[in-house]
Amino acid sequence: MSYLTKSPWIIHYDASSCNGCDIEVLAALTPVYDVERFGIINTGNPKHADIFLVTGSVNEQNREILKNTYDQIPDPKVVIAVGICAASGGIFRECYNVMGGIDKVIPVDVWVPGCAARPESIIDGVVKALGILEEKRKAMKRPAGDTA
Amino acid sequence: MIPDPWTAVLNAVIYLLLAPVAGGLIAGIDRKITARMQGRVGPPLLQPFYDVGKLFEKENLVVTTTQNFYVLSYLVFMAVSGALFFSGGDMLLVIFAFTLSHIFLVLGAYAAFSPYSHVGAERELIQIIAYEPMIIITAAGMYMVTKSFYVSDIIQSAVPVVLYLPGVFIGYLIVLTIKLRKSPFDLSTSHHAHQELVKGVTTDFAGPNLAKIEIAHWYEYVFLLGVVYLFFGFNPLLAIAAIIIAYFLEILIDNTTSRVKWQMTLRSAWLVAGTLGIINLGVLYYLRMVIVP
């Protein structure tokens, strides 16, 4: 096991969430769940992050910001879409300004369902993402063209 | 007295090899105690080492390649200033190398174009301006008591330095809060200020560069606590107890105070240096020159 899975730092971005999922994300940092037990830190800086945690649907106003933040995270990185809005647009899907789920703009690795997603399932999603992160790190080490 | 060259080199090498291990453990204990104070379980003791290991596995994303040079210089000069200190060198030279290393960090932050990085760099400069007088007074005070600027002499001196320099010692502990980047003086970079300044001075450093900054911090921790030891050089057990109590107090202050503005940081650091530091040195001078000529 690499160090990457022991120290995943998260950047949390609220695309256009109703704040329900955001409150649950922050709940995971409180003494009840205390994700720092697993070395998880909620950093506000994409350049220090390994995991991009997005809540809410993407709209015409913030698609650039979402893409820009994603591009600033150094490889290897994974994206977690938290809540039904981040997955498909949720109840905001039909709004004139909403594009839909965040996979319209950036590649998503893990989907966490729920409205709002519970802290337990968010933590579960992060643990799932760690496996993908590890695979991406190994792929980074391989020379280009080697798919084995 | 200049220290014996072989002992000096040996001590410097031991510092260069062991200080990152000790510094990382201190950082781990710090995070654990902080978590307990907040009613959390906290990360494993070795978490700082996992973090740095992880950062070396990441891509080195830079805005400009000069950042690499500045970060390396920061690490090298931090290690050099600690090595000079532990080899028993001149305190003044140690302080100059120490300040220079921080200037490299500031330059590295200015090299990137992010406004957060620039705000962090400005605040880092203000912090340097704030703590520098007190650090110089510490060296001057030790010279007045032991008649030497050499760490090797100060540490061998049988004089109970802390009894002659109580004001300087308290002043040093207060600027230690700035140096350890603890609240209320964690202006330039902080784990808790990301709504306000993202990560301040380290905002634009990613992956291996950030890891080097972390390792430089570990070297710095050991050096700064080494200065606390000097105050109690006459009794090693007491010195170690003083280091533990001092560090615990720093963690307690970190968890019970909120961040202040830069004006307050500058004012309080200079007030401490100007009152506790200068008055202590003045009294010492008066005793030496007037009472016991």
In a domain, A147, yes or no: no
**Is A64 an interface residue toward B (CB < 8 Å)?**
no
Asked if the Cβ–Cβ distance from A6 to B54 is below 8 Å, we say: yes
Domain coordinates of chain B in residue numbers? 5-291
In a domain, A146, yes or no: no
Q: For residue B61, give the chain A residue with the closest CA.
A: A74
> What six digits make up the tokens of B124?
């880092």
**Cβ(B263)–Cβ(B184) below 8 Å:** no
Long-range contacts of B237-243 (CB under 8 A, 24+ apart): B242/B162
For B155-186, how does the pLDDT look when each residue is reduced to its tens digit (9 = 90+)? 888 888 888 888 899 999 988 988 888 878 88
In a domain, A68, yes or no: yes
Which of B57, B114, B117, B204 has the highest number of chain A CBs within 10 A, making it the mutation to test binding with A?
Answer: B57
**CB atoms inside a 10 Å sphere around CB B189:** 23
pTM for this prediction: 0.89
> What six digits make up the tokens of A88?
């498909």
**CB atoms inside a 10 Å sphere around CB A60:** 10
In a domain, A10, yes or no: yes
In a domain, A52, yes or no: yes
| Banded pLDDT at B264 (limits 50, 70, 90) | confident
pLDDT at B1: 56
Task: Count how many domains chain A has.
Answer: 1
Mean pLDDT of A83-101: 88
Which of A40, A45, A71 has the highest number of chain B CBs within 10 A, making it the mutation to test binding with B?
Answer: A45
Give the closest of A3, A36, A74 to B43, CB-based: A36
> What six digits make up the tokens of B38?
């907040």
The fraction of chain B above a pLDDT of 90, given in percent, is 35
Mean pLDDT of A127-147: 78
In a domain, A101, yes or no: yes
In a domain, A148, yes or no: no
Nearest to residue B277, comparing CAs of B173, B187, B188? Answer: B173
In a domain, A63, yes or no: yes
pLDDT at B112: 86
CATH number at residue A119: 3.40.50.12280
**CA gap B89, B150 in Å, rounded:** 5
**DSSP of A79-124:** EEEEHHHHHH-GGGTTSTTEEESGGGTS--SEEE--TTPPHHHHHH
**CA gap A83, A20 in Å, rounded:** 9
**CA gap B60, B206 in Å, rounded:** 6
**CA gap A8, B278 in Å, rounded:** 47
For A93-118, how does the pLDDT look when each residue is reduced to its tens digit (9 = 90+)? 888 888 888 988 999 999 998 888 89
According to DSSP, the residues that pair with A9 across neighbouring strands are A41
The fraction of chain A above a pLDDT of 90, given in percent, is 21
Mean pLDDT of B222-237: 89
Q: Could you list the residue range(s) of the whole structural domain that residue A66 is in?
A: 3-141
pLDDT at B160: 85
**DSSP of B129-153:** HHHHHHHHHHHHHHHHHHS--BHHH
Per the prediction, chain B carries an average pLDDT of: 87
Asked if the Cβ–Cβ distance from A39 to B50 is below 8 Å, we say: yes
CA distances from B66 to A119, B70, B107, B262 (A): 42, 6, 9, 28
Q: Which residues of A touch B56 (CB under 8 A)?
A: 3
Asked if the Cβ–Cβ distance from B43 to A74 is below 8 Å, we say: no
> What six digits make up the tokens of B74?
């920061």
Question: Residue A54: which H helix or E strand, with range?
Answer: strand A51-55
pLDDT at B290: 66
